[in-house]
């Protein structure tokens, strides 16, 4: 058989027509590209902060004025540690750094520790070797 360009089936399809080719696949199949996998590599992690019981509650504020925070109480603890929030929690309970003299002088409010960034490093997957040709691959585009 020949196609419209004069190429015979035995020329275009040696794997199907030539007995010396053995039994390779009927058509050559392309090797799909190997994907690159990114693997996260974490930076060193800071230890959790130690609590001494002397950290102020950063969300606490007085029931009559939201500006009356633990920092505000710390400015005049003798007169303000009895303040209460809308749930009845006193400043002396929520603001020990401001109201409890046994706490010494830590910062007025506990500040949150910023998150440690994570760095991603590309790690390539193994690459398949190029396919070897034996001259016995069929031409998948041939039709006759």
Ranges of H-type helices in the chain: 9-12, 14-17, 70-74, 77-80, 91-94, 96-99
Residue 141 has what pLDDT? 78
Residue 106 has what pLDDT? 45
| pLDDT tens for each residue of 9-48 | 777 777 777 777 765 555 555 666 777 666 666 666 666 6
| pLDDT tens for each residue of 102-126 | 886 544 555 556 667 766 666 665 6
**Least confident interval from 22-26, 64-68, 74-78, 82-86:** 22-26
**Residue 125 burial (C-beta neighbours within 10 Å; 0-12, 13-18, 19+):** exposed
């Amino acid at each position: 058989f020949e196609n419209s360009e004069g190429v015979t089936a035995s020329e275009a399809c040696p794997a199907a027509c030539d007995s010396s080719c053995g039994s390779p696949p009927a058509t050559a199949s392309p090797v799909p590209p190997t994907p690159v996998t990114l693997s996260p590599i974490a930076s060193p992690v800071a230890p959790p902060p130690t609590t001494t019981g002397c950290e102020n509650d950063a969300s606490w504020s007085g029931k009559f004025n939201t500006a009356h925070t633990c920092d505000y109480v710390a400015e005049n603890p003798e007169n303000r540690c009895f303040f209460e929030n809308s749930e009845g929690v006193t400043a002396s309970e929520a603001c020990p750094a401001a109201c409890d003299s046994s706490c010494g002088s830590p910062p007025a409010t506990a500040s949150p520790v910023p998150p440690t960034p994570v760095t991603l490093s590309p790690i390539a997957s193994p690459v398949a070797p190029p396919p070897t040709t034996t001259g016995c691959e069929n031409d998948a585009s041939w039709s006759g």
